[in-house]
Structure 1
């Protein structure tokens, strides 16, 4: 005889850990707080280095340090906060919290500290310490996904593994005196694919929920073949960009990917979300993906420089999407209303200004340093406002228990 009764899953626990330090109750708390603080500090140190010759990164090199800390410092913390909060929803398992979460955060923090002046303990030791975080994050997330038997989410972890490889490769290229562009492009591509995969779930889902509450008839299209084709086209375009950034095939691949991702976004009813900035910002961040593909396609012809094109992805898609998710997840998981108050909306505005100013530095070379500095200051203002609005909630506010 076989038991035909379905196995009942326990509901996903909400508002976990009502005892112990609040900051260690859920992954988003320490990592979103750390990401916000480091976004401000790392950019401030970089601007000080440019303006006053502050010796950041020592033997690692100031420009390399800046690029690394934006790609693997700030963004890896934002990614960790998202994954450690989302994976329990995907698997139905308890979230990583308490001492294991504290250890993981300390590993991330140690990487940030040793790279400021890696010569203090030796460059190789500093790079080794920094290289620990992403493999550890990957191992923890893999354990949870496998235990929860959520096999379709392994593709998300593939991007985390690519980031770990890119980080180790970046360090190896620094030590060997090579060009870090390959590792940087791999890391950026991994983040863009993550936004394509996960953003392809959350952007239309959050939009559908918000529009449905307002009894709107035209809702975002459900996932179908076009979404899959757009993701594979994006993967192909990014792969070509990583390996052969100036090849004609890369231009063609990125144009095709940009068109398909534009078509994908057009089906999500973006124009109906203007009344709620918490939803609209998700669409604006996703729009930077096709814009980034088109920007890359312009580089070989000389119409746009490679650094400006790269920043469409890093500031626009990655920066704006991480800020959007951090603010929304913080509100949702601490019991705040899912709407963007003035400070949150202003933080989005400052980051969009940073996105617009950064390419302008290459277009107006006489004002290069001014525009670079203004873009950096806008970035710092965006995350300062995030901290002002949400640091108290991350540190102290627990989500109310359901009645």
Structure 2
């Protein structure tokens, strides 16, 4: 098996030598394309050939298309680090990428192919992804099987969203709420490992000896647990009276958790700082959704977008840029293009969340937010796209 995988990697073009390569390229590309189609639909310029209504399609593709692609790229790239096994590469990776792409086309053209076919392909991608990941983790007897379980649950959320679109289940929002819950938990679980670790390593290199972030403790497990319970109740019963109280508690605990990572001390390194900025959107989103439940003058859409356009998009951009540099053998240093992308994604999220406030014109704010958000990923593709298609600089065969 090891010899076969080495042969596949050596014979494959660079784009197929690691899952981060095709998925980190196609995910952002699809995000920009889907956003453009959505804006054209809102403007009345086109009619999407999908059985989903335009808003449901936009929401579905941002979560299960864009975010799902990056999850696949990250998971299959992290697993070799967890297990010591060689990465999935070559034809198996091409087939998995093709299945994801077929899912995007199937959902977009579901008015022609039919919703059942589209759902089968789309959900099937996550079933295959979970099966491949589980095989690797189980073979190495690794402790990260819960992360694989979250991916499988994400596929189930995808199926629920398709069922809602077809009118099979009564709650049309159940699928996307479940997806947001699962992604926030993934960020809480994985981000809680890598953010303090990367921060500690950077601080140590700068000669800082005091106040270094420590390893996750039982407190971190409590925070993740409370967040999971709060979001689970919100997912299944968003109008329940206990929801804003649970979300407030989880948001406050997440802020305390973040404070232990000393993110304010990383201002000189954008690659580390952006991880803290991205994670900060999680307690912000939880507290904003809680505020909506308490009856505050906060837009529900703005609160949700703190978790999606804020936390998810920012963390995705942060992880993709850092992982691409590291796995292509380049120094972990943010150039001007990377800083621009980070600035655009942050500004875009702020505008998207602030647009309903009435402080500035809503339509203008939304348009600028969309341009900033899409622009961030276009900049990423311009800067990192060539790296994804090229061999490692320190090992041309890797």
Of the candidates 91, 100, 104, which is equivalent to residue 108 of structure 1? 100
SS state of the match for residue 333, structure 2? Answer: coil
Of the candidates 384, 390, 393, which is equivalent to residue 384 of structure 2? 390
Distance 1:262 1:242 in 2: 22
Tell whether 2:335 aligns with 1:341: yes
Alpha-carbon deviations, 1:290-317, whole Å to 9, x = none? 1111011011214212211110001111
Distance 1:23 1:176 in 2: 40
SS state of the match for residue 9, structure 2? Answer: coil
Of the candidates 146, 167, 175, which is equivalent to residue 155 of structure 1? 146
Tell whether 2:31 aligns with 1:39: yes
Residue in structure 2 matched with residue 362 of structure 1 by the alignment:
356
Distance 2:318 2:112 in 1: 36
Distance 1:127 1:368 in 2: 34
Residue in structure 1 matched with residue 46 of structure 2 by the alignment:
54
Tell whether 2:137 aligns with 1:117: no
SS state of the match for residue 279, structure 1? Answer: helix
Tell whether 2:19 aligns with 1:22: no
Retained in 2: the 8 A contact 1:308–1:358? yes
Tell whether 2:96 aligns with 1:75: no
Alpha-carbon deviations, 1:59-78, whole Å to 9, x = none? 21111100000000000000
Which stretches of structure 1, 4 residues or longer, exceed 4 Å deviation after superposition? none
Higher mean Cα deviation, 359-368 or 305-314? Answer: 359-368
Of the candidates 278, 284, 287, which is equivalent to residue 291 of structure 1? 284
Of the candidates 76, 82, 89, which is equivalent to residue 97 of structure 1? 89
Instruction: Give, in angstroms, the shift of residue 242 of structure 1.
Output: 0.6
Higher mean Cα deviation, 254-263 or 124-133? Answer: 124-133
Tell whether 2:237 aligns with 1:244: yes
Alpha-carbon deviations, 1:115-171, whole Å to 9, x = none? 222122222222222221111111111111101101x31111121111111000100
SS state of the match for residue 56, structure 1? Answer: coil
Higher mean Cα deviation, 177-186 or 133-142? Answer: 177-186
Residue in structure 2 matched with residue 173 of structure 1 by the alignment:
164
Tell whether 2:261 aligns with 1:268: yes
Instruction: Give, in angstroms, the shift of residue 397 of structure 1.
Output: 3.0
Higher mean Cα deviation, 57-66 or 314-323? Answer: 57-66
Instruction: Give, in angstroms, the shift of residue 176 of structure 1.
Output: 1.3
Instruction: Give, in angstroms, the shift of residue 56 of structure 1.
Output: 2.1
Instruction: Give, in angstroms, the shift of residue 243 of structure 1.
Output: 1.5
Tell whether 2:362 aligns with 1:371: no
Instruction: Give, in angstroms, the shift of residue 87 of structure 1.
Output: 0.6
Q: Which has the higher contact order (CA 8 A, sep 6+)?
A: 1
Tell whether 2:273 aligns with 1:280: yes
Residue in structure 2 matched with residue 5 of structure 1 by the alignment:
none
Tell whether 2:372 aligns with 1:381: no
Distance 1:214 1:366 in 2: 42
Distance 1:349 1:237 in 2: 31
Relative to the length of structure 1, the TM-score reads 0.93
Relative to the length of structure 2, the TM-score reads 0.94
Retained in 1: the 8 A contact 2:193–2:215? no
Unaligned runs of 5+ in 2: none
Tell whether 2:307 aligns with 1:316: no
Higher mean Cα deviation, 140-149 or 171-180? Answer: 171-180
Residue in structure 2 matched with residue 327 of structure 1 by the alignment:
321
Tell whether 2:209 aligns with 1:230: no
Higher mean Cα deviation, 245-254 or 188-197? Answer: 245-254
How many aligned positions are there?
389
Instruction: Give, in angstroms, the shift of residue 246 of structure 1.
Output: 2.4
Retained in 1: the 8 A contact 2:123–2:156? no
Distance 1:24 1:64 in 2: 32
